[in-house]
Structure 1
Amino acid sequence: MVHFGRYIKAHHVPGWETYYIGYKQLKRRINECSKHAAEGSEEERQEILRRFSTLLDSQVEKIVLFFLERQGILAGRLQELRERTEYDLSDENMGTTISLVSERGSLIEAYRQIGKDLLDLLQYVKMNAMGLRKILKKFDKRLGVRLREHYLHTRINHPYSQLQQVLRQVGIGAIIVTISRNLAELQSERWNSYSSFTLGNQIPKVIVPKEPIVKAIENEYQKLTKEASVLSFMASGFLLQPSDEELLETAEEIEYHPWSAYLNQLNTFLYMVWNLSIIM
């Protein structure tokens, strides 16, 4: 069985190394916590839980902010392609058939490249979600506690949860729809008909199967959704287990910076505007 830390290292996207969950460092911290918990009092054990939870919060924040940054970059590139397409199909540019056909091929390749970059991002998120789940399981096993369900429940169900960005994947869904729809449009008979006016003859109909990159994205998206479902199930499972007063008190002590709320609301607003632009 491949060690998960080595798996991350072997499959990370070049240039993104520092943005993955610090699995090796967290494992080292778990070993340290295990020693202190075995020798310390109950109060010291609770302090270990609080500190480790805070450390995980920092890791999740790093992952989510990078995830949102990359989403924004992909959305910006898609917006540029949309503007290019509108110009190519405008009245002032309809007469340049050769240019139009060439641009069509360029647009298809551009959407495919964005699709490949999106695939990297989906794999990045899935791998980090798996890493979070595994490190929580390892912590519980070494220290003999059940932090995993408690941590996921308190973070996922908080109104300003950063983990929701991973679990709901609202922006990712919008990007997938945009790539898939535009690739299908560019390879459809409708696009061919735009240039038929100047060519003077009928372009042969070509039935294009679903793009391989779209199939790969859908497959990876399903894997990410499954991993998110596992985390959500664990979080809901916390409600079915005997309550732990110390852990509940820890949850009530969690403080969220006002900027977290602001950024969360801003991101939600941008997603709504983006989805509306797709519909219109």
Structure 2
Amino acid sequence: MVAFGKRLKESQIQEWKEYYIDYKFIKKKVTQFKPQVDDDVGTQDHSSVLKGFSRIMDNQIEKVVLFLLEQQGLLGHRLSSLGQQRNAVFQQNNICELEQGYRQVGHDLLRLLCFLEMNAIGIRKILKKIDKHFYYKFTDYYVRTRSNHPYSQLQQVFKQVGVGAVAGSVSRNLAALQDHQGIHTSIYDQSVLSNPDAMVDSINAAVRKLSNSTSFLDFLGKHALIILEDSPSLQDPVAEENFHFLSLFLNLVNAFLYMVNTYIVVPTADSYSLSLGAAATVCGVVIGSMAVAQLFSSIYFSAWSNRSYLKPLLFSSIVLIVGNTFYALAYDMNSIVLLLLGRLFCGLGSARVINRRYISDCVPLKLRMKASAGFVSASALGMACGPALACFFQTNFKICNLTFNENTLPGWFMASAWLVFLLLLWIYFKEPEREDVVPQQGPSTSSLGTLDENIVAPLLLKCVAKQKTIYEDENCEEDREPVNSIMSAYRLLSPSVKVQLFVYFMLKYAMEILVAESSVITSYYFSWQTNAVAIFLACLGLTVLPVNVIVGHHFSNMFEERQVLLASEMMLCIGILLSFHIIVPYSVPQYVASEFITFVSAEVLEGVNLSLLSRVMSSRLSRGTFNGGLLSTEAGTLARVIADGTITVSGYLPEKWLLNVTLLPSFLICISSIVATGVTYNSLY
């Protein structure tokens, strides 16, 4: 308690300390109210506690908001004075003094944004603490009654216009002064300045973070569930001089090849199963066996990456070479067992958890968002290229008693690709240096240093690093070490995080049903050949990046992420409903339209789901073996396993029932996820 209070005191801007949320005062109130709740959990006591804590929170938030408005007025007055000086300064052709004035306002604005962000995090932490100690959800009541009221002061803290207006004025004038001395340029007329100003970038980043708005790169990066604010120190733990770009590139190539490997067999899995004497629906087991093995490989690769990145990537490549060779040999050996064994080996070679962790631990902060976006893009491209490559394998010949046809060529091609990758990895990948980073106690926010220093190391980054240590739960989150067991990780999952993991499970289940049974369904209803299935799946895969561009640039800035989440869940449910075959003949337009709606909705849902997950998940899950990336990977992989198992089990029923039987669980799970999202909706605020 003493250590926590000391950190809080040291991290405040001292001249503003009386205007911060009084965290210690509210914690004392929690302790005072808790015995009442423990003794009598009646409705009347619940109501009095709700009203009592609501008044306390209202008073604390009002204190912050009124001070915020006062500071905005002072900044606005200074900007007005600078505006009056602008014309005279331009006529004298001497803009240095004016530019310095705007930079000083920008400097003070960043301090105010840090103050506001610190209090926003404090409010979220306090709401979680109250929920933790009582037998009902205070957050749901408080957010529901305050967030949408026309006089909402809660909205002023999280999403208010005043700071944006000041930030826009500073950014516009600094951009104008930098480019042609304010003659021909405007931030409203061009999306990207030719020479972006570091102060402007810092302000824009701070405002985006405060308002939860985002850019395409931000959105795509969060799609990878790589938690960016994961360092307790004030400095970037990854030195730029130690960063090796070629190693990052090979890491992304690994992600691309693995997704190709996953989906290259989908168009032919049913025909391969039939050629070995099994039912067409065994394709579910063929595709899903890779996911079964991935459940285990994710854990040991995550643990192995604590010591090395190169060695597990080399091992992964070797296992994938063996797995794809087994897959190709199964045809000539006439062995369904060897076919499944090959796919199991491919799953055991899944290094996606290493791909995520390498970006999180070994890429400098300023490049990490781009690297995260690259990971998602590489995966999306691999998803599209996998089925597309199957189109080029329509041949049949033998070499040394080995058959090369549409069934075996995916295995031979991927074995060759992994062999080439193994050699490149061995030659060019550089093992990152591993150091025990000792967190440094940074200066207090009141001693901010020179203006130039704060432009180079933006105040936003410094404040965020401090905020993360200020408002952690005193009993469990003061320990900043990564968790060391799956049970410890599970105990850190709040209800909202559990629901988001369930949503991720749901969308992966629905997507796997759609993709894995596509060849069987289209063959039964429409007599599609391998080429048609491959082209259809490739076209679906190609929608990934355009969809994320639209969501990242527009939807995520027009609506709250939780609104997009709920809307995309509903659209996914509609897509599943449209996929059912009921009474009327099943047509190609119905199938294509319903699958397109389902797939695109799932893609939109995945983006906002992982973005929310990265924000609400404990920062202790950003590093170590049992990290957030591993948990999401396991949830998604388990969904794929169950989905593929559903397809295989449904194969024992008449083929005409396959579509509806496999869609029914997707529909029920989707409905459940919508209900669960509604229950935790306000906790995603």
Flag whether TM exceeds 0.5 (same fold). Answer: yes
- Give the letter for the 1:50 counterpart: K
Superposed displacement of residue 233, structure 1: 4.3
Tell me how far 1:41 sits from its aligned partner: 5.2
**Is the 1:180–1:214 Cα contact (8 Å) retained in structure 2?**
yes
Q: Distance in 2 between matches of 1:4 and 1:173?
A: 32
CA spacing shift, 1:171–1:149, aligned 2, 3 Å: same
Q: Does 1:210 align with 2:201?
A: no
Could you say if the C-alpha distance between residues 233 and 137 of structure 1 is closer, same or farther in structure 2, counting changes exceeding 3 Å?
farther
**Structure 1 residue ranges (4+ consecutive) displaced by more than 3 angstroms after TM superposition:** 3-8, 190-193, 231-234, 236-239
Match in the other structure for 1:183: 174
State the match for 1:39 in structure 2: 39
Q: Which runs of 5+ in 2 are unaligned?
A: 185-192, 214-555, 567-674, 681-685
- The reply to whether residue 226 of structure 1 matches residue 200 of structure 2 is no
Equivalent-residue separation in structure 2 for 1:158 and 1:174 (angstroms): 22
Distance across 1 between alignment mates of 2:166 and 2:28: 37
Q: Does residue 143 of the first structure (1) align with residue 134 of the second (2)? A: yes
Q: Tell me the residue number matched to 1:174.
A: 165
For the residues of structure 1 that align with 2:41 and 2:183, how far apart are their CA atoms? 74
Q: Distance in 2 between matches of 1:139 and 1:169?
A: 25
| 1:25 alignment partner in structure 2 | 25
Q: Relative to 1, partners in 2 of residues 1:72 and 1:130: Cα closer, same or farther, differing over 3 Å?
A: same
Is the 1:8–1:127 contact (alpha carbons within 8 Å) kept by the matching residues of 2?
no
Amino acid at match of 1:125: L
Contact 1:156 1:232 in 2 (8 A): no
Counterpart CA distance in 1 for 2:6 and 2:197 is: 32
How many residue pairs match? The answer is: 215
Separation (CA, whole Å) in 2 of partners of 1:21 and 1:113 = 26
Aligned residue number for residue 62 of structure 2 = 61
Shift in Å, 1:189: 2.2
Rounded Cα–Cα distance in structure 2 between residues aligned with 1:26 and 1:48? 13
Deviates more, 1:4-13 or 1:131-140: 4-13
Report the 3-state secondary structure (helix = DSSP H, G, I; strand = E; otherwise coil) of the residue aligned with 1:159: coil
Instruction: Give the direction of change, closer, same or farther, for the CA distance of 1:30–1:233 in structure 2 (3 Å limit).
Output: farther
Aligned in 2, Cα 1:68/1:123: closer, same or farther, shift over 3 Å?
same
Q: Distance in 2 between matches of 1:192 and 1:140?
A: 55
Q: Which has the larger radius of gyration?
A: 2
Query: How big is the shift at 1:134?
Result: 0.8
Per-residue CA deviation, residues 9-52 of structure 1 (Å, 9 max, x unaligned), is 33222200010001111111101111121123512232122111
Aligned to 1:267: none
Alignment partner for residue 156 of structure 2, among 165, 170, 174? Answer: 165
The aligned runs of 1:83-102 (5 Å cut-off) are 83-89=84-90, 94=91, 97=92, 100-101=93-94
Q: Structure 1: how far apart are the matches of 2:676 and 2:13? A: 34
Question: Aligned AA for 1:39?
Answer: D
Q: Does 1:15 align with 2:15?
A: yes
AA of the residue aligned to 1:38: D
Matching residue of 2:114: 123
Return the TM-score normalized by structure 1.
0.68
Amino acid at match of 2:147: I
Does the 8 Å CA contact 2:89/2:98 hold for their aligned counterparts? no
Distance 1:120 1:232, change over 3 A: farther
Deviation at 1:7, TM superposition (A): 4.8
Which of 240, 244, 262 pairs up with 2:678? 240
Structure 2 residue matching 1:210: 3-state secondary structure: coil
User: Is the contact made by 2:173 and 2:182 (CA closer than 8 Å) also made in structure 1?
Assistant: no
Residue identity opposite 2:123 in structure 1: L
| Cα distance change of structure 1 residues 144 and 152 upon mapping to structure 2, 3 Å threshold | same
Superposition TM-score, scaled by structure 2 size: 0.29
Per the alignment, do residues 108 and 238 of structure 1 end up closer, same or farther by CA in structure 2, a change over 3 Å counting?
Answer: farther
Q: Kindly state the Cα deviation for residue 171 of structure 1 after the two structures are TM-superposed.
A: 1.6
Query: Which secondary structure does the structure 2 equivalent of 1:15 belong to?
Result: helix
Q: CA deviation at 1:142?
A: 0.6
Q: Structure 2: which amino acid aligns with 1:135?
A: I
Structure with more helix by fraction: 1
Provide structure 1 residue ranges, at least 5 long, that are not aligned to the other structure.
Answer: 194-206, 243-280
Q: Supply the distance in 1 between the matched residues of 2:182 and 2:12 (Cα, whole angstroms).
A: 38
CA RMSD of aligned residues (A): 3.1
Identity %: 37
1:33 to 1:191, Cα distance in 2 relative to 1, 3 A: closer
